[in-house]
Amino acid sequence: MEASRIQVLPDVLIDQIAAGEVVESPASVVKELLENALDAGARRIVVEVADGGLSHLRVLDDGEGMSPADAVLALRRHATSKIRDPEDLDRIATMGFRGEALPSIASVSRFTLVTRRPSDEAGTRVTARDGQVNSEPFAAPSGTSVTVDDLFHNVPARRKFQKAERTLAAGIAETVARAALAFPSLHLVLAVAGRRPIEYPPCARLADRVAQVFGRDVANRLHPVQEDRDNIAVTGVIGDPALARNDASRLVLLVNRRPVQDLALRRAVLNAYSVLVPAGRFPVAVLAIELAPVEVDVNVHPRKIEVRFARPRDVASALFSAVQSAVVQTPWIAQAGLDPFATEAEPKPFAPDPATLGHLATPGVRESMALPHPTLPTRQPGLFGEASSPAALRLADLRYIGQAGRTVLVCEGRDTLVLVDQHAAHERVNFDRLWQGVREGTVASEPLMFPEVVTLDPAEAAGLDAARDILGRLGFDLEPYSGDSVAVRAIPAVMRGRGAAALVRECAQAAAGESGASGTERLHRIVATIACHASIRAGDALSESDALALLASMDTVADLAAYCPHGRQAVIVHPMSTVLRWFGR
């Protein structure tokens, strides 16, 4: 009889396959163990990490603990205390619920679980090594500790593709920080070998927890959000638009206290801020959405980072409404002198396609360039009307009329009214010059008379490590100082006279950015960050000679486009016939 080609896999291999879905990195292990501790009623959780979590990782909690029998059963596949029948899948109210996490983690590590219930005289120690599970009585405090050593030791392909130690530690720190934000009353401690522990004592208010996680300077610039409609409650805090970052790491979204990644919810928040936050940047916010468990499916992703809503539009609409209501009650709009939600009765200004601006359009990439030209943002046709602009436009040839609102340069061309955003235009000039300087190795550096020490959070420090070579080519001289601090000895010459701390932090954030970004994308974000910091600001008064010099400099940059590197418009052209039509002429 011919042997069957289809085989039933052994349990050890099945567990390792399941681990590939659940255990992506040390941070995902910490996430699963934190959720188990929270479900056990823990009030204090300690996370210990060495070698980025690959050689050693331990999570200790003071929760209710487990009986000896349950401690062994917890390492069986599909074993869980949180689901009894199929209907339970529609009303999951716990943080963890799957039965794969512990056996999956145990299958790719040297695993030890120690647990004791307060009513038990002795605890239990369970060890798992290469599929063999053993248990024994063990003296232990009440609660549970899970130790994961030599993670991925038996799956070398998975271990090979793990990131650098600092990056792994940063991922764990972010996971712990998000748990702290989701549960302000929880006492959390993160102890990374060789560094001072990070401690989040319990807080009565979310604002106090945000101060612990993001810093007091951020917490002092937050405004509360609270709205309840259609049985969807939205609470939290939103930050001043000036706190906006190049990445979304501080835009934290919680659904029934579960940190989630949801593009529709993120887009709702960005739309609520409207023009107060430019394209490509993300506000600081911690927003919690609470709705009935039956209204949300948390079973759509193995690591539970994505969810599915029964009423996705209603949830996004409730989030948008809550954030927008908070935005319009803040002083930001009055300070900015605009209403981002106002609608215009008159025709919208025309923004020409870059191709119609002659030499302002972006030329093709020259073959000799070592770096590609960054991709420019695209705009939908008809967004600013149907009028057409001159085939060519030299800004230096325009008649300068004046500065409006200390932000917009008003100019007149032949049959056109031209408006120039002074910050966006200067940012574009600085960006293109820096980009060309990186290609040619000609970016000048400005030594600081006294080195400036900058303290970074773990994610920022990891981003700085990843981009150290890029930053060196851009004129930075950075030296490790202590822990996650760096001493800044030199900055790009274009930043002469400006502070280094904010620039270094934002460059670190830009370097960290979104996961999976290419080297060119990372370079683009960093150069755009430097260009932004080096540029004239909205609100800066310009003399006529300064304004004319800026207009002339725009004409000297061959790669100038109608948009700043973050995607905001730099130039708007109104045909004069359209302007006259506004007045009924």
Q: What's the confidence (pLDDT) of residue 94?
A: 58
Question: What tens digit of pLDDT does each residue of 252-265 get?
Answer: 999 999 999 888 89
User: Contact, 62 vs 143, CB < 8 A?
Assistant: yes
Q: What's the confidence (pLDDT) of residue 98?
A: 43
User: Contact, 44 vs 61, CB < 8 A?
Assistant: yes
Q: What's the confidence (pLDDT) of residue 329?
A: 84
Q: What's the confidence (pLDDT) of residue 333?
A: 57
Q: Is the pLDDT of residue 376 over 70?
A: no
Model pTM? 0.64
User: Contact, 170 vs 177, CB < 8 A?
Assistant: no
Q: Is the pLDDT of residue 565 over 80?
A: no
Question: What tens digit of pLDDT does each residue of 32-74 get?
Answer: 999 999 989 999 999 999 999 999 999 999 999 999 999 998 8
Q: Is the pLDDT of residue 4 over 90?
A: no
What is the separation of C-alpha 125 from the centre of its chain, rounded to a whole number of angstroms? 39
First to last CA, the chain: 94
Q: What's the confidence (pLDDT) of residue 263?
A: 87
* Section 531-552 average pLDDT: 89
Question: What tens digit of pLDDT does each residue of 390-420 get?
Answer: 335 678 788 999 999 889 999 998 888 989 9
User: Contact, 417 vs 574, CB < 8 A?
Assistant: yes
Q: What's the confidence (pLDDT) of residue 100?
A: 59
Give the residue among 10, 42, 219 at the shortest CA–CA distance from 141: 42
Q: Is the pLDDT of residue 335 over 50?
A: yes
* Section 131-159 average pLDDT: 92
Q: What's the confidence (pLDDT) of residue 533?
A: 87
User: Does the CA dihedral 501-502-504-508 come out positive or negative?
Assistant: positive
pLDDT band, very low/low/confident/very high, at 561 (cuts 50, 70, 90): low
Question: What tens digit of pLDDT does each residue of 502-514 get?
Answer: 888 888 888 776 5
Q: What's the confidence (pLDDT) of residue 116?
A: 96
Q: Which of 116-130, 386-400, 474-488 has the highest mean pLDDT?
A: 116-130
Pairing of strands 251-255, 285-290: parallel
- Range of lowest pLDDT (90-94, 239-243, 524-528, 535-539): 90-94
Q: Is the pLDDT of residue 235 over 90?
A: yes
Strand order in the sheet with 571-575: 399-404, 408-413, 416-421, 571-575
**Residue 422 CB neighbours (<10 A):** 24
At CA 521, angle to CA 520 and CA 527, rounded to 5?
85
Q: Which domains does the chain have, with CATH numbers?
A: 11-200 (3.30.565.10), 206-336 (3.30.230.10), 354-576 (3.30.1370.100)
More confident residue, 80 or 379: 80
- Range of lowest pLDDT (86-100, 162-176, 458-472): 86-100
Q: What's the confidence (pLDDT) of residue 85?
A: 52
Q: What's the confidence (pLDDT) of residue 343?
A: 41
Give the residue among 71, 67, 61, 56 at the shortest CA–CA distance from 133: 71
Mean pLDDT of all residues belonging to the chain: 80
Burial of residue 548, with CB atoms counted within 10 A of its CB: 0-12 exposed, 13-18 middle, 19 or more buried:
middle
Percent of the chain exceeding pLDDT 90 equals 32
User: Contact, 293 vs 578, CB < 8 A?
Assistant: no
